[in-house]
Each structure stands twice: as C-alpha cells, then as structure tokens.
Structure 1
Amino acid sequence: MYEYKYDAETGGIILTDTTSLVSKEPRPVYAQELDYLGVDDYLIYEKQQDVPYMWAEAARYIYKGEVIFNTKGGSLYEKPTLEFAMKEENGEKVRVIPNGTVLEKIDISAMVEANRDSLAIIEQITVKKIYDVYKRRQKSLDCFHVAFSGGKDSIVLLELVKKALPRSSYMVVFGDTKMEFPDTYELVDIVEKQCKEEGINFYRAASHFEPEESWRLFGPPSRVLRWCCTVHKAAPQTLKIREVLGKNDYVGMDFVGVRAHESATRATYDEENFGKKQKGQYSHNPILEWTSAEIWLYIFSHNLPINNTYKKGNSRAGCLFCPMGGGKSDSFRYLCYKNEIDKYTDIIRDTIADKNINTYITNGGWIERKNGRDIIGNETKYTEEIIGDNLVITIKNPSTDWHEWIKTLGEVSFEYDVEQISNGFRITVPKQYDKSSECKLFKQVFHKAAYCVKCGVCEANCRNGCISFKDGLVITNCLHCKQCHNIDDGCLAYHSMQLPKNGGRVMKSINTFADHAPKIEWIQNFFEKGNEFFTDNTLGPMQISMFKRFLSDAKLAEKNKTTQFYDVVTRLGWESEEAWGLILVQLAYQNPQIKWYIDNMPINETFPRQYLEDKLVEAEISPKDAKSILKAFKRLTEIPLGYVINFGITENSGRQISSLRRCKSTLSSKLVLLYALYRYAEACEGYYQFNLSTLMDVAIDSVGISPVKIFGFERDELEAMLRGLSAKYNDFIDADFTHDLEKIALRDYHTSADVLDLF
C-alpha cells in the first residue's frame, strides 16, 4: 500500500505516507544465504538464523540503506557470483563496504516500533475488507476458506482473517502438492496445531498421485504444460471441500494471498472475482495492494512463524522444483535441498530421450517442453486424418471407456461410426463437421478415452457429482454442462503427452534468415535506392526473401514499400547510433531470432558455440537450423548493428565460430531509451509505472523486454539517462529517485509512435 525507504540507523525498512505504485519486493537476508554466496570470505557476521542482517531486491543486497553488492548469474548447478558495489574516494574506486566489516543485525524491535502506526492502518483497512465481504456474501455462500500455502503471504493473510472473522465461520485448506519445500511442511505443522488450538478447522488437500508417479504419467511439467497446478493443487482442494461439506455443488469464497506487486500479470487482478481461480467459486484477494515490505514488517511485528526456506535465500516458497523458476533461485534450492531435487532431475533423466540430458536439464530444456515428442516410450494413442470425404480418428490402447465419456455431450447432431480394430477402435465422421465446435468436443471425448489417467480434474470440474472413478469410470445423470471439457484439449494427459500433429520431429524454427542474414552492402543499397530497391537489386531469390523479412521485422519496409519508420531512420542517418538503436528495439519485438539471442545470451557473457547449438536443439530447433542461427549472429555483428552500437562479437577457430558474445551497447541516446520504455509498457498491456529494479532485473518473465535486457545499461548509467529524460521530456516521463523511491511513470496519453515524432 505504502512506499518505503531504508533506515540506516536500524538497518530496517520505514513505510512512508505515499501510496505505492510499484515495489521492488524486498526480502530479509539471513546468515545462511550470506554463507552460501561466500560473503563470509569478505565480511564478518555471527552465524545465527534468528535475525536478518540486510535486505535483497532481486540481485541487489542493501545494508543500512546502501547497496553493498549484487549477484550475477546462477543456475541449478552453478552458484551466482558476487559483484561488490564501488564508490569514489580520494580519486580512487573503493568498495562501499570494506573487507573485514562486521555486520550488525537489523534492529527488529526498533523497526517495528517505527512502523507501528502505518501497520495499524494497513491492518484496519484489510480486516475491514475481509469482514465486509463476509457480511455481504455470508447468506449466499456455502463456505469461506483460506487458501494456505505455507508462504509469507498466506501466513499474513491467515492472521488477518483470524482478526476479521469468527473462528467457526471459515476453514483453512493447505493445498499440498507433495512437491513443497521441506521447510514448508514444518511451518504447516505449526500452523495446523495453532488452528486446532484456536478452534479453526484446518484441512490438507492432496492428489492421490505422488509426484514421482504424475511426472511419469504426464511428462515433466513445463512453462507451457503446467498440468501440475491443476492436478496437484486446484482439483484436490475442490474435492476436499466437497468432502468436508458433503455437497458437490457448493459455492464458496476463497481468501487468497496474491499481491499485485509480485508481477505485471498479478497487477491486473481484481480484488474479487468469480471462477478465475477455481471454477464455480468466488475468490477474494485481501492483500492484493500490499508490498512485500509490508508483509515482512507485519510478520516481524506480530511475531508470526517464518518458513525457514526464506532464510536460505529463496524469495518464494511454492513448489520445490518448478518450471517457472530458474537462475539464482534454482541455485539456492539445489544447495539446500539437493536430495529432494535430485529425485525430480532423475525422473527427467528417466523419461526424456535426449543424448545431452545433462545439458537439457541445466539449460532448462525440460522447462520449454511443448508436447510429448521426447518422452521415452510415449506411444501415439490418438490420431486423426482426412481420408476421402471422412474424418477418421484412430484410438489405440484406450485407458477408459468412450461410451461413458460420450454421455457428457448428450445427443450428437451428426452421424458417426465406431469400428473395433486391433487394440482399439476407429471413428468415422463426415469431414464437413471437422471444424465445427461440436466436433471439437466430440474429439475431446476420444482424447479422454485414449489418455485418461484418473487425475480427478474432470471430477472436480463436475459440480453435479456425475463423474466417479471409485469403481472405474462411471458417469451418471449427466446434465451436459460440459465443464469436464473445459480443460486444455479436454484432457490434461493428452495435452501434455500428444505428439506433434504433423508427425514431424521438429517444431517450427525461429531461423528467420536461414543462411542469408543481411549484409552491409544490401543495407547500403536499400537506403540508397529506397522503394526502387525492390525492383532493382542483384540479390538471389532466397537472399531477397530473407532480406525482406529483416526489413519487415525492422519496420523499415512492408509489401515492397518503405515505411514511416524508414523515413525516421533516413532523417537520422541510416548509419547513426540512434537509427540502429531504434532498429534493434523493433527487431527485439518483431523477430523471434533476435529475441532468442536477447533471451538466451545475457550481456557480456561468452558462450561456446556448441553450448548454444545444444540449447537450440533442446528448444526443438533442427541441428541444421541451429547452425544457421549462430552463423547469422556473426553476420549481424558485421552490419551497423555490430560496428555502430556493439550488438555482439564472435571468436573464430579457423573458419568455424568458436564462441559468441552479446555485448553491452554503446548507445547513449536518451530518446531511444524512451522509445524502448514505451514499447516495454505497451507490450505489458499498458503497465506504465514501474521502478528501476524492475528494469534491471532481466530475469523477470514478461512479454515486455526491458531496455536493460536489450542494451545492457548499467544501473548508474540508466538512472542518469532517466533523470535527463524526466527533466527534458516531462510530458512523456517522470522519474523520481528521491527517498529511494526509484519510481518511473510514463504518461499513458502518449504512445511509442509519439516518441518517434520527437526525433
């Protein structure tokens, strides 16, 4: 709710009276995390775990109000490195915090006392929200429950609900994915005991699957195939509450501890919604506007139990080995919970057919899985094809009876024929129905029949209690609401394990230039001739085709005609720094190959060619295309993208590229930065307010691409450029770095196109 600043005297955080629009999500740092980072080689501190020493914001570590070091890199098997902050002293660069400094613990009691009044206001506002929604919905709903995860937000949420509501008016449900941090279970035991002593009903909800079983049935989860959230969390919670209430069609209110400051996506959440978290259920987000600073202050002020995983450097306490993680967080987790994580990496090794399985795991190949192509022993159980005038669906080795699943549709309006074949059956449908919405549901019946593993999701979706797996699949008294079809492809197992529909081994490539990335003479000729270039050039058919793709993605030409952006570039001078800064921004958003370089080659890190080839192949790029993509990088460094703004360099061994490196840009144009910021905001669906730490954190998963990720700006450099923009173009941007706010606000009545007019 409120902005905050660091207090040098207590080492803590002080809330201000200004409303927070953005937050850097600070978290306390304890001795165990410092030990892991190797800080004890430089600084002295007591090895205790009760009181934190400093705060961290992503990669920045703040002690008594000053950034003393940053971390860089880090992966599952690799520790992040330390970069100590420097300052000018007597004409020399020295560390902000000298070697041998004795660290003092944060004065928790003084910090709490300094924030007592602000915390009381925040508590009163939130408790009233909870009570008001309870009174408003009390007579119309069957239950209220707190979604408890064992993390910092849910421990605060539970305390607030306790203050707002009678003990008997709600229940607490811990959604046990069975993949939680070991420390989470210790905290849940504590909270469960407290609830029972206070007369609050506490329940644990878990899937009947063990993760070792589900990961093999569905394949390892990935960022695209997140079956795990539904199978291991949402569905079990719904089924548990039904069991408690004895009512299949209950309608309840779920108090959830999500916060807008956690991500750009969550910033768009409403305080109350229906059916977004769980189908047919209300959700209320009482602490949506809280910052992590307020969460931690509340925990310290009320002496609430802390999940020890936070003391080990983990910023979140969700699933232990999650495809949404990566980087430094994986590094901390592996150090602290090696044996537990090895169980999951062993499953990946056992289930994935990849000759470079170690690289596949460490480079995050499993995180990018999009289908069941590389699952060992995965058979195609469902296929469809057009033969003559018919759509023909073939099912082999079905796991459940299609006669039961077809009940969910009621009457089917078109004729179909089912024929028994060896180990399955074949369905024939007139092809004119193939693209109809009814046929889509019809196909899903057979997805379910072929792949169903009895995960419980269809059962949880059916609020009428018509689906049961107690004695095998039985569907009775179906009302044809089709909620059991409201699942990806009708069946999560099919969705996760299906093979590419074209039967091929390789997904569509990001290889947009083939072996014909642009050359400097092509670019020079294009800018000299303009529109005439398209009818007067010496390029071969493949060369002109690939070059047109480059020009289109750079927004310099469209349909054999130059664009307004081309006019801007020619006005600036086609070899100027500003021109190529703007072109790179366009390519970052428009060209998947350029975006791959930006996403996978952090600034100033050198990568062996073979490492990047392996990474591309793991992302389902053919070996041939992988080689072309890396050759194209070398070609791009030889045009103004490379020699004007320093996009990257390669090292060669003979004629072969040996290593590649994306470099910090030499760009100094403030207006290019402003253009990049507006493109970033527009890509983030109009998220026009953010902070410097958000821009500096290149690990954030976002549709918008931070200018720091594109150009490699240093923090001080970026801050200076932002100050300059704010002073000269205040009608476009307001950057405030006073009182440690680091607030950046773009004027939402302007667009990126308006910024181009400034050139």
Structure 2
Amino acid sequence: MFKITWDKENNGVLLTMRSTDETLNVPPRPVFFEELDLLGLNKFWKYPKSKEPLLWACDRRYFYKGELVLEAKGGNIYDDPQLIFTDSGKKLNLEPINLDKLCKKNETTMFLLEHEALEFINTIYRRYRPNAVQQTVNKTVDFQVLAETQEKKTKEKYAVIKEDCDSFDIMPLEEAEKQGKQIMLNTKIEMFIASFSGGKDSQVVLDLVSRVIPSNDFLVIYSDTGYEIPPSLEIYEQTKQYYKEQHPDLQFYLSKNHQDVLYYWDKMGSPSRMHRWCCGVMKTAPLYRLLKEIHGTGKQPNVLVFEGVRAEESNRRALYDRIGRGVKHNNVVNARPIFEWSATEIYLYLFMRQLPINEGYRNGLWRVGCSICPYSSDWSEHIVEKKYPDSINPFVSDILNKTSLLGLSKESAKRDYVKLGNWKMRSGGKTSNTENSRLDIISTTPDFKAVLTAPKESLLTWLNILGKIKISQEKNITKGELQYKKGIYHFTIQTDDDKQIIVFENIGDEILLQGHIKRVLYKATYCVHCEACEVECPTGALSVVPLVSVDTKKCIHCYKCLDFKERGCVMANSINISEGNMKNNNKMKTSGIDKYSTFGMKENWVSDFFNNSDDYFEGNNSLGTKMIPACLNWFREAEILNISDKKISKLVLC
C-alpha cells in the first residue's frame, strides 16, 4: 500500500507515501540466521544466531544496510543454489536489525494502514452481523433471489443494497456503485470466520479481527490438508494458546479430510496445474463440512470469512475484489482486510504486535503453505526438502514410484521428472488407480447407452439426484422411470457380475439430460468419497461418507453436486482417460502414439469383434481395462468403427 525505501543507517526499511528514484520495486522481506545457515553462509560471514532478522531480501537478492551483498541463483529439490557475492558482500560481520527503531520509524504509516483495515472489518461486521440484518430485512422476501431473477431477465448485474433507513432493495450494480450504496452480498450471514493457515497473512488477519469483533461472535478455523510442514501445526497451537489467554471464549476448530492425502494421490494421481484437486478435496471440502457440523442443521450455513489473501501474491489474486461472494461457494462471502498490503507491511505488523512467526519464514520460505504443490517454486521445494524432508519425501516417493507407468526406466530420467517439475504438468490419468472401474458410452442417439464396469457406488442412489425415480425389478433387469424437470423418461439397467448396462430410451435430442446422466454415471463409476460434491449441496440431502446416500425428501434437484465439475466428479476429472466419447466436432480426444497406450493392434481383437460385434464393447470381450481405449482407437483409425459411436462403419459393411 505504501512505497518502500531503504533506511541504510539502521539496516531497515521506511514506508512512505512518495515515489522517488530510491523506491524499491520489490517489497523486501526480513532474513533470519536460519536461512543463512541453510545457504551455507556461515562459512563466509559472521553473524549471531539472534531472534531478530539480520538483513533483507528482494526475491533472492540479499541486502545489508541498503547494499546488495549476495544473489542466489538456481537450486531445486535436489541441487543447491549458486551463491554470487558482490564486492560488498565478500566479508561481512552482520548485526541484528534493531526492531525497536524499525517499528518506531514506521509507526505513523503503519498506524494509518492497520486502522484502515480495522475500519474495514468493523464496517463489514456491522453491515452483516445477524442481529442487525434480522431487525431490518423483510423475512418474506429473499432479496438475493430477486436480484438473481432480475439479472436473468435483463442480462444486467444487479445488487442487493441497504438503504440509510436500514431497509433493503435491489438495483443495477453499476448504478449502486456510482451512488455509493451499501451493497449486500448476502443478507443471511450466520457465522463470521477467521481463516487461519499458519502463514503470516492469516496471522495478521486473525489479530485484526480479534481487535474488532467480540470473541464470542466469530470462529477461528485451521485447515490441516495433510501437506503441512511441522512449524505450521506448531504455530496453530501457539496461536491458539496466545489468543485463548486473552479471549477464553474464542473458539478454535481444525478441519481435516476423513482420508489421508496419500490415499487420494493413489486414487487420483498427483495433483497438477491441470488437475488441481488437492485444494478442493483437502482444504475447501473439509472446511465446509465442518461448518455444516458446527451449524447443526445439516445444511450449509451462510458465512462471512475474513481471509489473508493479498493482491501482491499473484496476478490471479490481483484480480479479486476486496470483498466477494461465491468465490468457491454461493453461501460464502470472502472479505480481505489486508488485500493491498505488501509483504514488508505484513512483517512490520508482526514485529510491532510481537506476534508469533512461523519458523518456515525464518528458514527462507516466502510463503508457508503445502510442503509440495504444483505451483510451488524450486526454491520452496529446496528449503522444504532440506529442513522438513519427512513432510515432502512421501510425495516425492509416490511420484518416483509411478514414473514407470509413464515409460521412464532410467533413474536419471525419473530424478529429472521430479527435479524439473514435469509431474506438475500432468493432464492424463496414467498414474491414477481406478481399480478396473470404467465407464463406456456406447451410443447417444436415438437411445443413450452406457456400460459401467466395477462401479464404486450405487447407480440408483446417484440417479435420485436427477429427479424422482420409480423402479421395478425382474431378475437382473431394473426398469425405471425418471422425472427430470417436466419430462418423464424410461430407462433399464441390466446387471451382469461387475457390469451394469444402462439404457435411456429416445433421448438423442435431450442434450442437457444426457449431460447430467453422464455426470451421474461418472460419479457412480469412480466415486472415492472425497467430500467435494457433498459440500456443494445446499440442503444437506447428499452425504458421501462412508457411503453415498441421498435424502430424497431434502433433495431439490438443483444439480449443484453435478455441475461443479466438467464430469461431475473430481476423481473422474482427474483420471481424464479416453472412454470412447467423441467431441461434437467428431475429432478424437486423444492423439499421437499415446492414444494406443503402448498396445499394438492384436489379431484376436479383430476376430473376436467380428464374431460378436453387437455387444463386444458392452463387456463381452477379453480386453483389460486399459486395453479398451487402445482397441477403440485402433479400430477407428482402421475405419472399422464409426468415429461417433462404437458401431461398425459403413465402409466395412460395404
């Protein structure tokens, strides 16, 4: 928020309103002796093992009394970085930064900064606190629904506003902003949450919130994702003790998925930049599941979360609003008191308030989060591997163990796969473990026909999500009737050992219905009970732990549990293997040699197919699970099968 220059005399920094030639482009962070030891600088420099920081760093360029003394280049999970000393940094005798002077020199600017944040929190709290809203809102009118309905009619963004007389109304968002109206993102907030991650930003936000909101009127929630480095868990306990001494009635909660994170690595494959399942499964879903338990109604409560997101952290986050609704869930309002703060200002606040600091920062981490991440830097992985090997090695071992599935045999190639971060680019499902479960779409017109092999969950249970169903049973055939929106559709399910063949009659033109049916089939086939879809349910009708169940009395068929992912299922999205579906443009989803999955065309495939072409791909074959996509692709390339389905092509029939 403020400009930053060096305070060379005191080896500090100065916050200022004015921009000059000496203004720093990158906000500096304090550097502690632990980071210097990790870099091996105790061989070159003399410095005390002090609690106070010793110098500053802008990215990986180190400054002492405003002079560049060292730059660290390269380095990764296996290799140390190269240290490049300047003339000023070849022999140094470092003295600790005088924190009293540092804080005194920035006292005025930090006062303005923190009080603006305190005022923001107070304004949001007073605007959204339940008692204040309940006294003024007309309970017979859902203003949020009115705004959404008006948006659909006019194609213009509408907002709920709070008038000076404390009544509510709706008006175009642009007009509301021009008039400076109080915009209400949710008129039914039931809880205030301070989200705590163990990092410096959430530490500051928690302290700010505790100075404004009564301690019995908000909760602190820490998400243990299973990726935590030890200092993060330790700082949570320290912070809990610190605030409990001041506010005995302040409630702390810890959310955690019911499964260990490596369980999901085994099933879904490692997370990647293409498949970012870990945040939703290990952090978001357990958090909202916990909120549902705390609320005690079985429904997702409407909550306002104060979080430590800052614009400086990434280009993507810089596009966020300071307060926003429905970032991940429609019932959540996210408020970001320190959105415009720099990292330097964050550290100054921690020093001034004498708050606990995560040990990870003392070791050189710029951001403290997961021990391994598709977006983590080489620098972060280097520090974590050096200081907290037990936290990262299980994941690295999992990646290395699965490289053989990718055709890597040489140890050097496997090591490079990890070192260069190639695992972060995963887009397919070769390293996932479906345990032979598989979905094949046989046809989509005129009848929709699909085969589920070794489905993980009950297909009929998931079909309840689509609408009311009536069924009758005749031996291994289930006949059913589905009420989907305003239509009635008939289906049959034939069960043979571990296979189920489902047919919906004459729905070739029902594109939306087919899309939802496919999502249901994906969920029934691949569900690993990850919790992600459960927290999308607004009424509490859906439960996925320990098994999937749907309370048909509560389900309103909103399809939120289906529409939150392209395939309606995190597992199905992550494995992303070709299942015989063709894109609308009739181009194949897979291309190149990889589409054959290392299987060559086999003579018995062809002979078996022509002896039994009608139901060959419905399970009446000797193909293994991973052979089926290869066989389909070979047959289509050879023009034995149509591109759009699994029927014999006209060329062969001729």
Considering the TM-score relative to the shorter chain, is it more than 0.5?
yes
- Which residue is equivalent to 2:78? 77
Residue 508 of structure 1: CA displacement? 5.2
Q: Confirm whether residue 31 of structure 1 aligns to residue 33 of structure 2.
A: yes
Q: Is this contact kept in 2: 1:279–1:461, CA < 8 A?
A: no
User: What is the distance in 1 between the residues matched to 2:276 and 2:546?
Assistant: 28
Equivalent residue for 2:240, pick from 185, 192, 201: 192
Say yes or no: does 1:307 pair with 2:358: yes
CA contact (8 A) 2:267 2:434 kept: no
Structure-1 separation of matches of 2:460 and 2:275? 28
In structure 2, give the amino acid aligned to 1:27: R
Tell me how far apart the structure 2 counterparts of residues 196 and 277 of structure 1 sit (CA, whole Å): 30
1:532-547 aligned at under 5 Å gives the runs none
Q: TM-score, normalised by structure 1?
A: 0.63
In structure 1, what is the equivalent of residue 120 of structure 2? 129
- Once residues 256 and 23 of structure 1 are traced to their aligned partners in structure 2, the CA distance between those partners, rounded to angstroms, is 26
Deviations 1:160-204 (A, max 9, x none): 001111111101010111211111011000111223331211111
Could you tell me which amino acid in structure 1 is paired with residue 284 of structure 2?
A: A
1:96 is paired with a residue whose SS is helix
The residue number in structure 1 matching 2:96 is: 105
Q: Give the Cα–Cα distance (whole angstroms) in 1 for the partners of residues 127 and 222 of structure 2.
A: 25
Is 1:398 the equivalent of 2:455?
yes
C-alpha distance 25-226 of structure 1, shift in aligned 2 (>3 A): farther
Quote the residue 2:512 is aligned against. 437
2:276 equivalent in structure 1: 226
Structure 1: gaps (5+ residues): 86-94, 511-759
Name the amino acid aligned to 1:394: V
Q: Quick check: 490-499 or 108-117, which moved more?
A: 490-499
Q: State the Cα distance separating 1:330 from its structure 2 match.
A: 0.9
> Does the alignment pair 1:5 with 2:5?
yes
Over 3 Å counting, the alpha-carbon distance change for 1:470 and 1:292 in structure 2 is: closer
Aligned 8 A contact 1:223 1:368 in 2: yes
Instruction: After superposition, give the CA deviation of every residue in 1:389-413 in whole Å (9 maximum; x if it has no partner).
Output: 5443221111111111111111234
Q: Where in structure 2 are the equivalents of 1:211-360 lying within 5 Å? A: 211-247=261-297, 248-352=299-403, 353-354=405-406, 355=408, 356-360=413-417
CA contact (8 A) 1:351 1:376 kept: no
How far, CA to CA, are the matches of 1:349 and 1:377 in structure 2?
Answer: 19
Q: Distance in 2 between matches of 1:382 and 1:210?
A: 26
Measure how far apart 1:387 and its partner are.
7.7
Do the aligned partners of residues 509 and 49 (structure 1) sit closer, same or farther apart at CA in structure 2, a change above 3 Å counting?
farther
Give CA-to-partner distance per residue, 1:441-474, whole Å, 9 cap, x none. Answer: 1100011100111111222111201012456322
User: Which residue identity lines up with residue 178 of structure 1 in the other structure?
Assistant: G
Shift of 1:131: 0.6
Percent identity at matched positions?
30
Q: CA deviation at 1:214?
A: 1.9
Moved more, 179-188 or 480-489: 480-489
Secondary structure, counterpart of 1:130 in structure 2: helix
Q: Is the 1:56–1:62 Cα contact (8 Å) retained in structure 2? A: yes
Deviation at 1:335, TM superposition (A): 0.5
**Which letter does structure 1 place at the counterpart of 2:10?**
T
Q: How far apart are residue 42 of structure 1 and its match?
A: 2.5
SS in 2 for 1:68: strand
SS of the counterpart of 2:273?
coil
1:438 is displaced (CA, Å) by 2.4
- 1:150·1:188 contact (CA, 8 Å) conserved in 2? yes
Opposite residue 437 of structure 1, the aligned amino acid is L
Amino acid at match of 1:341: I
> 1:331, 1:363 → 2: CA distance?
12
**Aligned amino acid, residue 408 of structure 1:** I
Distance 1:393 1:68 in 2: 66
Moved more, 394-403 or 467-476: 467-476
Deviation, 1:373, is: 2.0
1:301-344 residue CA offsets vs partner (Å, 9 max, x unmatched) = 11110000011111111111111113121111111111221111
Q: In structure 1, what is the equivalent of residue 558 of structure 2? A: 481
Structure 2 residue 223 is the aligned partner of structure 1 residue 172: no
CA distance 1:52–1:183, change in 2 (3 Å): same
The structure-2 alpha-carbon separation of the partners of 1:249 and 1:23, relative to structure 1 and needing over 3 Å to count, comes to farther
Q: 1:506 and 1:346, CA in 2 relative to 1: closer, same or farther beyond 3 A?
A: farther
- Contact 2:507–2:514 (CA<8 Å) still a contact in 1? no
Q: 1:494 aligns with which of 572, 575, 590?
A: 572
1:172 & 1:475 partners in 2: Cα distance? Answer: 31
Shift in alpha-carbon separation, 1:435–1:19, aligned structure 2, 3 A: farther
Q: Is the 8 A contact 1:255 1:283 kept in 2?
A: yes
Distance (Å, rounded) in 1 between the aligned partners of 2:129 and 2:118: 16
Equivalent pair of 2:199/2:368 in contact (CA under 8 Å):
yes
Instruction: Report which of the two has the higher share of helix.
Output: 1
CA distance in 2, matches of 1:10, 1:378: 63
Which amino acid in the other structure matches residue 114 of structure 1?
A: K
CA distance in structure 2 between the aligned counterparts of 1:74 and 1:14, rounded to whole angstroms: 31
Residue 84 of structure 2 aligns to which amino acid in structure 1? E
**Cα distance in structure 1, aligned partners of 2:101 and 2:318:** 32
Range that drifts further, 467-476 or 228-237: 467-476
> Cα 1:268–1:388, aligned 2, differ >3 Å: closer, same or farther?
closer
| Contact 1:452/1:491 (<8 A) preserved | yes
**Equivalences for residues 466-477 of structure 1 within 5 A:** 466-469=541-544, 472-476=547-551, 477=553
Q: For residue 535 of structure 2, what is the aligned residue in structure 1?
A: 460
* Paired residues of 2:28 and 2:58 also in contact (CA < 8 A): yes
Deviations 1:245-287 (A, max 9, x none): 2131411101111001111111111011111033421111111
Once the two structures are TM-superposed, the CA of residue 113 in structure 1 deviates from its matched residue by 0.4
Query: 1:96 maps to what in 2?
Result: 88
Contact 2:34 2:362 in 1 (8 A): yes
Q: Kindly provide the amino acid, as one letter, of the partner of residue 231 in structure 1.
A: V
Q: Is structure 2 residue 68 aligned with structure 1 residue 67? A: yes
Give the Cα–Cα distance (whole angstroms) in 2 for the partners of residues 509 and 310 of structure 1.
45
Given the alignment of the two structures, is residue 206 of structure 1 paired with residue 246 of structure 2, yes or no?
Answer: no
Compare 110-119 and 452-461 and name the one that shifted more: 452-461
2:464 pairs with 1:407 = yes
Structure 2 residue identity aligned to 1:396: T
Q: Quote the offset at 1:84 in angstroms.
A: 2.3
Q: 1:487 to 1:262 in 2, by over 3 A?
A: same
2:206 aligned residue (158, 163, 166): 158
AA aligned to 1:482 is Y
State the one-letter code of the partner of 1:347.
D
Partner amino acid, structure 2, of 1:39? L
The one-letter code sitting in structure 1 at the alignment partner of 2:93 is V
| Cα distance, 1:220 vs structure 2 | 1.1
Q: Is the 8 A contact 2:76 2:419 kept in 1?
A: yes
**CA offset at residue 379 of structure 1?**
3.4
Within the alignment, does 1:120 sit opposite 2:198 as a pair?
Answer: no
Q: Which residue type is aligned with residue 492 of structure 1?
A: V
Deviation digits for residues 707-741 of structure 1, max 9, x if unmatched?
A: xxxxxxxxxxxxxxxxxxxxxxxxxxxxxxxxxxx
Cα offsets for 1:630-686 (capped at 9, x unmatched): xxxxxxxxxxxxxxxxxxxxxxxxxxxxxxxxxxxxxxxxxxxxxxxxxxxxxxxxx
Which residue matches 2:145?
none
Residues 1:132 and 1:421: Cα distance change in structure 2 (over 3 Å): same
Q: Distance in 2 between matches of 1:43 and 1:481?
A: 64
Distance 1:186 1:262, change over 3 A: same
Counterpart amino acid of 2:454? N
Describe the shift of the 1:74–1:279 C-alpha distance in structure 2 as closer, same or farther (beyond 3 A).
Answer: farther
